[in-house]
Structure 1
Amino acid sequence: MSGESRRPTPPSPAVIGIDVATASVRVLCVDGQGRVLAEAQADLPPPVRTATGTSEQDARSWWPAVRSALRRTTGALPRGGREVIAVAVSATSGTIVPTGKDGEPLGPALMYDDRRAADLNAEAQRAGSARWDTLGLSVGPTAALGRAVWCLRTYGSALHHVLHTPEFIGRELTGRPVATDWSHALKSGYDARAGEWAHEVFDALGFPPGLLPSVGAPGTEAGTVGPEAAEATGLPEGCSLRLGMTDGCAGQIATGAVEPGRFVGVIGTTYVLKGVSEHLVRDATGAFYSHRHPDGWWLPGGASNTGGECLADIAPARLPALDAAAAAGGPASYVRYPLCRDGERFPFVSGEARGFELGGPRDEADSHRAALEGVAFLERLALERVERLGIPVLGPLHAAGGGSRSAVWTAIRATVLDRPVRVVERAETAFGAALLAATGTLHEDLAASAAAMVHSGALVEPVPAERPALEESYGRFVVALRGRGWLPDD
């Protein structure tokens, strides 16, 4: 009726993803269609790293940073945060903090790259060798498992819990202890296949598993936001806290690669390949391992020592011009393996691997182009290894990371792989955490969350005219790796 006033449409319900990274906390609020409603960031103190391999951060800095970023995010929402129905936390893989009876830290957090317990991790590897072999895992020098044992031996009876970052934040949000997810628990000795902690390993090391949290599936509810946290953050009291995943896993699902056969290649400082398989596949070389998917599938993946680091000596302002010249010049005149470190860990494992060149560049643009192609060759090797292990790779490769912003690099990757590459918007940890917060709240499951909320970017097709030259260079690259004894013949 003309004289009747219409009520304004209430804002849609929203979810929040929290990423507790090494240098900062990032908070992202999105609606059920993946539209960003508000976001904020807060800095963290840099970890203190020493020449002896220790790496520590003040865990007491985490909650103030999370609280501040949440308060600014909810304050920017139309209803001041009342529209937020769920939140999930993701963090670095393997960072732990020893806490006392009251949940307060007994000392600094031991970061994901802390090596102080390398000897204990070697013991853990021996004690659980049969289990790790079945899972295709190894307990590396920086695994959280050994550091948890170190905490017990250091703090003794004062130690009541060893927490990963999300449970530490979860306790602040809910006012009580919360479970961890099986992704963050992996490097602490959790067997996601059997659904249990590696009891024989903990027995051998004299560590009671009760010092670790209970474990649940990512995306399930861990508790609800309590009154004190609601007052401090602007989140509504009773808001659901959902279990997150590690930063790498959250970044993967943020691309929408959440169903079997879907893979994402991430070019950051190093190259990372992650995907989804229906079954656990063991890689005898140890080049990659699997997390457990929230729906019970598996997330095989590996991280190379090669990647965007090969461009680190180039001023960022110069990259667009070099990219343009590399595109205009076409395939490189020589082959380059742009490894900047000693040793490779994926798609093959070799402590002896070193970067090399087969020939030399015509000019700087040719050298730049060869570096981009070299990373693309590593990516093809990685996908071929996955397929040889019986894991299908379907459809376009999803692309994320800083390298995916380069149009010429993406086109090179598509051509080398002979498959389309889809560049994905918002392929970041906080958005992946938001997808997990939406699972079971805004949407039925993770696949439904991804279908509704992930916005795919450009689909980049192979360049047919460049394929013969790149195929020939790739063949030379593989022969050179095998000739040096770094790449197995399988």
Structure 2
Amino acid sequence: MTGRRAWAGVDLGTQSVRAVVAEEDGTVIGRGSVQLAGTRDGGRHEQDPESWWRAVVEALRRATGEAGGPEVAGIACCGTSGTILLVEDVPGDPARPLTRGLMYDDSRATAEAARIAAAPAPVWAAAGLRPQRTWALPKALWLHERHPGPGARVAHQVDLITSRLIGRPAATDTSNALKTGADPVTGTWPHEDLDRLGLPPALLPSLVRPGDLLGHVDPAVAEATGLREGTRVVAGMTDGCAAQIAAGVLEPGRWSIAAGTTTVLKGVADVLPADPTGVLYSHRSPDGRWWPGGASSAGAGLVTAVFGGPRPDLEGREVDAVTYPLTGTGERFPFQSGDAVAFTVGDVHDDADRHAAILRGVVLAARLCLDHVAGLGLAVEGAVTLTGGVTRSEHWIRLHADGLGREVRVPAEADGALGMAVLAAAGADGLVATSRRMLAPARVYPPERLGRLDALYARLVGELVARGWLGEGVPA
């Protein structure tokens, strides 16, 4: 031991597991990453849960080894939202998988989702939740119906990891449990409603808030992971919430846009937002605030679909056209339509025009998301934090600042693993104060051409309304 104190975070993604070790001031002194593989076939998307554990152990060993032996005082983990499996507690393994892991976008639980939609729990409506077929709850029902038996329990992706880290079945955090049907207001399971739908109470883990202590690193796994026996293991959050922490978007009125293949909006509010359209849902933060957000299917994925990948050689073209950037059929936020597809308003004549129209669509889809939450009465104040693949391009960043009409901030590192290290470190200081200490200053991009995309935005909104996908009243 060197006498230094540090914190560890783990991010279980779809394609890899990443681990970091960060010091008190947020300096990352150790990193580890291990690739994951899965099985996709139509609506099926599965992974081997044992591969998650092997990858976490190896990523942690690499990160702690590179860090050089500081005292890791605590660890937290995040995972993909809606990923679920069944496990059992047996001698030597508190979370032995009984099934494959059904990933966040596995969509086979169609009948179960319809059953939930026909008779939802009243607490979900009160919290603005409308469970979808890719949520964990219908998939948990789907798994239970196919794998009944005593001793089984529902586990989220991170629950398998934390259970093995502490050597006994771990409670699950209310963030990951949101899409499994937990009531975010009370932090409890609506047992009567879930039992009525076919998910008995015995299958469900106990619930804790993110940041609560789950236990301590078990001697059986300490050496393999490089963590000290007795290290605190605290409850984590979903991967999206972990990235929000790393982006430093933690105070009311602040919003972040993760612009990559798709577009994800997340923000902070003091009260639970009410969205009559049902496209916005809210996590409860570790400090008791609400983190409303929504995930749009629109995004820069259309650039890859059309051009095979980023095309910096086509950036810079000015065009009086905009493409709503959907790669498939259907949109889920800021409006819900099963029929929505990509379309272009205005004329395009060559690849540079098409590229520019898609870029403008990515920016204006994000603006539409912000206008949706503002229309619900939520504060949208000051700069917007931008993360995701688009931040690799200065042109894209500056286009966002102009198109959103507000300052854009790009975090030094918006990695979910770092967000979990910050959560593990928060303790009595609280999440906001800890993030200020541990997160590096963001790069700032003020708008240079205010109003640059206003006319295009008005035409885009008009077309969305004309097609019947978007309701009247969106500011344009």
Instruction: Output the TM-score relative to the length of structure 1.
Output: 0.91
Identify if the C-alpha distance between structure 1 residues 366 and 181 changes in structure 2 by more than 3 Å, giving closer, same or farther.
Answer: same
Residue of 453, 456, 464 corresponding to 1:470: 453
Aligned residues: percent identity?
Answer: 43
Deviation at 1:469, TM superposition (A): 4.2
Letter of the 1:354 counterpart: V
Which residue of 1 is the match for residue 233 of structure 2?
241
- Whether the aligned pair in 1 keeps the contact of 2:402 and 2:452 (CA below 8 Å) is no
- The one of 358, 372, 384 aligned to 2:359: 372
Paired residue type of 2:408: V
SS at match of 2:148: helix
Q: Which moved more, 1:343-352 or 1:391-400?
A: 343-352
Which residue number in structure 1 is paired with residue 128 of structure 2?
Answer: 136
Runs of 4+ in 1 over 6 A off after TM superposition: none
Q: Which residue identity does 1:365 align to in structure 2?
A: A
**Amino acid aligned to 1:199:** H
The offset of 1:453, in angstroms, is 1.3
The residue number in structure 2 matching 1:460 is 445
In structure 1, what is the Cα distance between the partners aligned to 2:314 and 2:440?
29
Please point out which of 368, 373, 384 is paired with 2:371: 384
User: CA, structure 1 residues 73+468, in 2 after alignment: closer, same or farther (shift >3 Å)?
Assistant: closer
Q: Does 1:58 align with 2:48?
A: yes
Identify the match of residue 97 of structure 1 among 59, 80, 85.
85
Aligned to 2:97, the other structure's residue is in SS state coil
* 1:468–1:277 Cα change, 3 Å: closer
Instruction: Specify the code of the residue in structure 1 equivalent to 2:61.
Output: R
Counterpart contact for 1:422–1:456, Cα < 8 Å: no
Match runs of 1:387-406 below 5 Å:
387-406=374-393
CA displacement 1:434-485 (0-9 Å, x = unmatched): 1111111xx6111012111112332111123xx3442111111111211222
Which of the numbers 196, 199, 214 marks the counterpart of 1:207? 199
CA contact (8 A) 2:403 2:451 kept: no
Which position in structure 2 is the counterpart of 1:436? 423
Alignment of 1:257-272 (within 5 A): 257-272=249-264
**2:272 pairs with one of 262, 274, 280:** 280
Letter in 2 for 1:195: G
Instruction: Please list every run of 5 or more consecutive structure 1 residues that lacks an aligned counterpart in the other structure.
Output: 1-8
Q: How many residues align?
A: 468
Deviations 1:140-198 (A, max 9, x none): 11221122233333332244321112111112111111111101101111001022112
- Pairwise mapping of residues 147-186 of structure 1 onto structure 2 (< 5 A)? 147-186=139-178
Counterpart-to-counterpart distance in 2, 1:445 and 1:210: 34
Q: 1:350 is matched with which residue? A: 337
Aligned to 1:71: 61
| Change in 2 beyond 3 A, CA 1:126/1:315 | closer
Residues 1:108 and 2:114 aligned together: no
- Deviation, 1:362, is 4.7
Aligned positions of 1:110-125 closer than 5 A = 110-125=102-117
Structure 2 residue identity aligned to 1:481: L
Rounded to whole Å, the distance in 2 between the matches of 1:212 and 1:70 is 28
Deviation at residue 423 of structure 1 after TM alignment: 0.7
How far, CA to CA, are the matches of 1:101 and 1:406 in structure 2? 48
CA displacement at 1:430 relative to structure 2: 1.0
The unaligned stretches of length 5 or more in structure 2 are none
| C-alpha spacing 1:408/1:186, structure 2 compared with 1 (3 Å) | same
After superposition, the CA RMSD in angstroms is 1.8
